[in-house]
Amino acid sequence: MTITQTSAPANTEFVSRHIGPRPSDVATMLQSLGYDSLEALIDTAVPADIRQDSALDIPDALSETEALAHLRALALKNVMKTQMIGQGFYDTITPAVIRRNIVENPAWYTAYTPYQPEISQGRLEALLNFQTMVMDLTGLPIANASLLDESSAAAEAVLMMRRANKKKAKGKTVLDSNIFPQTLKVVQGRADALGFEIEVADLSAGLPEGDISGIVLQQPGNDGSIADHASIIAAAKEAGAMVTVIADLLSLTMITPPGEQGADIAVGNTQRFGVPLFFGGPHAAYMAVADGLTRSMPGRLVGVSADDAGVPAYRLALQTREQHIRREKATSNI
């Protein structure tokens, strides 16, 4: 069967530009499938006992301007209140000059083919800047191009410590009792699913007994305290355990970073850097690691290379193939 490609004249109406396909496209597809009408196709594809008898009561379409006004009216129904939960979620202020020249800079958000990151130079440059900022603030030499949120990043760090610490692979993971409750629940859920031991303890009182694969600390803690973790980190290292610190990234501009305290891994989120509280949803997490842990790290690394003309070019420097092929051996579930 020969299918003739047809195209309708350009239509500037909002509906025609955003809701397809066009009638000629529908006719071409129906011809290819061997049906005379959409109704005949639906009769074949959708069982009668789950179909609605009456037509949907859909109002007339709005123009683009009317649709934007309607969305704005819906948004105005949100009631802005002071958020006092804390625990990783805080109100922020982003100066207009930063918002206009960085957040709204077209170089970041007009990257070509975002599903082909090797070509999306604007996006890759933004991610490289993100990695560099995280490395500078955490005091660790390698950072990835973000994870989903702080709690799941902490769970990924626990799994990473268990992969990397071969000598203590069967040991338990100890979580400080002063970490955020949502993070505690996520890590415990992951441990239950994968069948390894988790212990929650007040690490300010020292390490618990037994073999320990790794420990997880929070800086600042759930109660807001800023503690010097140097002694507990040194004790963990002496016991053969690895150390993860969940660190408020903005606080690291003022306090000693995890890398300088001796931590192997640092995780946290970047909401403090001007991401507003937007009625739900995660905030981009970070992960930074010490030397030797790069290939155990989940996520992707962006690096700088050169194209065939010798011009600097951004590219994905590392992404584990198991993430897509042998998923049971993947470094992450994200």
pTM (predicted TM-score): 0.74
Task: Give the chain as a 3 state SS string.
Answer: CCCCCCCCCCCCCHHHHHCCCCHHHHHHHHHHHCCCCHHHHHHHHCCHHHCCCCCCCCCCCCCHHHHHHHHHHHHCCCCCCCCCCECCECCCCCCHHHHHHHHCCHHHHCCCCCCCCCCCHHHHHHHHHHHHHHHHHHCCCEECCCECCHHHHHHHHHHHHHHHCHHHCCCEEEEECCCCHHHHHHHHHHHHHHCCCEEEECHHHCCCCCCEEEEEEEECCCCCCCCCCHHHHHHHHHCCCEEEEEECCHHHHCCCCHHHHCCCEEEEECCCCCCCCCCCCCCCEEEEECCCCHHHCCCEEEEEEECCCCCEEEEEEEECHHHCCCHHHCCCCC
Tell me the per-residue pLDDT of 43-94, one tens digit each, with 9 for 90 and over. Answer: 899 998 898 888 889 999 899 999 999 999 999 998 877 777 788 888 888 8
**pLDDT band with cut points at 50, 70 and 90 for residue 281:** low
Verify cis geometry, omega within 30 degrees of 0, for the bond prior to 220. Answer: yes
pLDDT in the model for residue 16: 67
Q: What whole-number distance in Å separates Cα of residue 294 and Cα of residue 219?
A: 23
- C-beta of residue 177 within 8 angstroms of C-beta of residue 139: no
Average pLDDT score, the chain: 85
Predicted confidence at residue 143, as pLDDT, reads 96
For the residues 247-264, what does the mean pLDDT come to?
94
Residue type, 278: F
Residue 87: predicted pLDDT: 84
| CA–CA gap between residue 277 and residue 126 (Å, rounded) | 22
CA-based R_g, the chain, Å: 26
Mean pLDDT of 2-30: 69
Q: What was the pLDDT predicted at 81?
A: 79
Domains in the chain (CATH in brackets) are 10-74 (no CATH), 106-329 (3.40.640.10)
| 201-254 per-position pLDDT tens digit | 999 899 999 999 999 999 999 999 998 899 999 999 999 999 999 999 999 999
Please tell me the predicted confidence (pLDDT) of residue 137: 96
- Position 290 confidence tier, pLDDT thresholds 50, 70, 90: very high
Q: What is the pLDDT of residue 159?
A: 92
| Confidence check: pLDDT of 190 > 70 | yes
Q: Tell me the torsion sign for CA atoms 251, 204, 194, 182.
A: negative
pLDDT attached to residue 287:
96
| 257: its two tokens | 């970073």
Structure tokens, 158? 């626990």
Q: What is the mean pLDDT of residues 263-288?
A: 85
pLDDT band with cut points at 50, 70 and 90 for residue 8:
very low
* Cis previous bond, 117, omega within 30: no
Q: Which of 12-21, 190-199, 283-292 has the lowest mean pLDDT?
A: 12-21
For residues 9 and 129, the model is more confident at 129
pLDDT at residue 325 is higher than 80 = no
Adjacent-strand bridge partners of 300 = 319
Report the distance separating Cα 127 and Cα 115, nearest Å: 15
Residue 275 has pLDDT above 90, yes or no: no
Q: What is d(CA 20, CA 26) in angstroms, rounded to the nearest whole number?
A: 9
